[in-house]
């Protein structure tokens, strides 16, 4: 910018001096080229007040013309410098007013373009941070809602029975759900997107059995059933909370949008363990299937649960896929634990 200001000043002064110097130098060269008698005659004809006034007027006219040219050059250079500054200030005001996008400025002025790039990167970072915070809040809401709903159903069971044995059994399950809820909160507080190579070995049978007890009241209220079968004794590399959340999300999805028996099967597939979950409903429509794991896209208008389940599976070194649409069958692929 300093170079631009220097060039602008020099251009304005140069234009003024050029309009003054060129005619005067041309006149001096012309007079010098005349013969002596002719030069003397010219000098004699220019003597007197009238000729002096004419010469003075000519010099003043040249000065005014030079100043006018300098003003026009300076005005043009001021626009070259001022317009990008005004545009940059306008965009910065829009950014301050809450606009999330900041288009970089391409003014050709290095300093201004660098300021624009910094503002653009800062705006993009702020936008990403806000989006991450919204996603985190939505994920936290969903992760907490499922165990809270299951806990509420257990408390309803306790409140509606006088059988002490049933109360004790339901209370034990409720205690387990409270512990799971506590783990969910701890996981949310220390949430990280970095894959952990030291994921623990967890018993798939234990997790599925716990989920079956947890969801039994909901299936009974809907007059539906859940069937768990397949290979036994399988262990996978995953955190117990994450695995329970993934499968619980699929169960909740099948209970809300499917029909009939929810079928859960576990099997080995090479170095992986596959958990397949399906039901007897109509399945996923062809227009929704390609976008089933996108946020805010599903048959009910909210794809948060499946999105979160997919992210949790990836965080645990696995993946979640929709392997069949008619009927809907989801598959969770996780690494098998050696021990």
Higher pLDDT, 13 or 206: 206
Q: Could you report the per-residue pLDDT of 157-180, keeping only the tens digit for each?
A: 788 878 888 778 778 777 777 776
Beta strands in 14-93 (DSSP E): none
Higher pLDDT, 291 or 94: 291
Q: What is the pLDDT of residue 113?
A: 74
Higher pLDDT, 76 or 5: 76
Q: Could you report the per-residue pLDDT of 264-274, keeping only the tens digit for each?
A: 999 999 889 99
Q: What is the pLDDT of residue 98?
A: 63
Burial class (CB in 10 A: 0-12, 13-18, 19+), 278: buried
Mean pLDDT computed over every residue of the chain: 75
- For residue 183, give the nearest of 160, 200, 205 by alpha carbon: 200
Higher pLDDT, 235 or 139: 235
Q: Is the dihedral of CA 296, 302, 307, 312 positive or negative?
A: positive
* Number of other CB atoms surrounding residue 155 within 10 Å: 14
Contacts (Cβ under 8 Å, ≥6 apart) of 219: 225, 226, 255, 262
Q: Classify domain 195-335 at the CATH class level.
A: alpha beta
275 pLDDT band, cuts 50/70/90, is very high
Whole-structure pTM over 0.85, yes or no? no
Question: Average pLDDT in the 320-326 region?
Answer: 91
Q: What is the pLDDT of residue 166?
A: 77
227 pLDDT band, cuts 50/70/90, is very high
Q: What is the pLDDT of residue 302?
A: 37
Domain boundaries defined on the chain = 2-99, 195-335
Question: 198 pLDDT exceeds 70?
Answer: no
Q: Could you report the per-residue pLDDT of 30-64, keeping only the tens digit for each?
A: 656 666 676 566 555 655 545 556 555 666 666 66
């Amino acid at each position: 910018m300093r170079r631009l200001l220097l060039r602008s000043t020099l251009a304005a002064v140069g234009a003024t001096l050029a309009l003054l110097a060129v005619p005067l130098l041309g006149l001096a060269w012309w007079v010098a080229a005349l013969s002596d008698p002719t030069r003397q005659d010219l000098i004699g004809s220019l003597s007197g007040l009238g000729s002096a006034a004419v010469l003075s007027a000519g010099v003043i006219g040249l000065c005014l013309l030079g100043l006018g040219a300098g003003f026009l050059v300076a005005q043009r250079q001021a626009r070259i410098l001022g317009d990008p500054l005004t545009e940059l200030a306008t965009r910065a005001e829009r950014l301050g007013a809450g606009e999330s996008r900041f288009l970089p400025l391409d003014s050709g002025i290095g300093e201004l373009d660098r300021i624009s790039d910094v503002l653009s990167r800062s705006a993009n970072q702020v936008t990403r941070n806000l989006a991450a915070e919204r996603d985190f809040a939505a994920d936290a809401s969903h992760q907490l809602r499922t165990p809270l709903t299951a806990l509420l159903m257990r408390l309803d069971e306790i409140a509606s029975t006088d059988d002490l044995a049933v109360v004790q059994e339901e209370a034990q399950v409720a205690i387990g759900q409270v512990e799971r809820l506590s783990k969910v909160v701890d996981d949310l507080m220390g949430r990280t997107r970095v894959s952990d190579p030291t994921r623990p070995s967890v018993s798939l049978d234990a997790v599925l059995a716990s989920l079956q007890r947890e969801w039994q009241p909901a299936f009974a209220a809907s007059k539906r059933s859940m069937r768990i079968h397949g290979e036994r004794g399988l262990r996978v590399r995953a955190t117990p909370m994450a695995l329970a959340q993934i499968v619980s999300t699929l169960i909740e999805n099948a209970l809300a949008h499917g029909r009939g028996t929810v079928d859960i099967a576990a099997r080995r597939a090479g170095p992986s363990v596959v958990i397949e979950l399906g039901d007897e409903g109509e399945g996923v429509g062809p227009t929704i299937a390609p976008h089933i794991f996108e946020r805010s896209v599903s048959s009910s208008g909210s794809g948060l649960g499946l999105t979160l389940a997919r992210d949790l599976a990836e965080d645990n070194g696995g993946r979640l896929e929709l392997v069949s649409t008619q009927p809907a069958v989801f598959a969770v692929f996780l690494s098998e634990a050696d021990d």
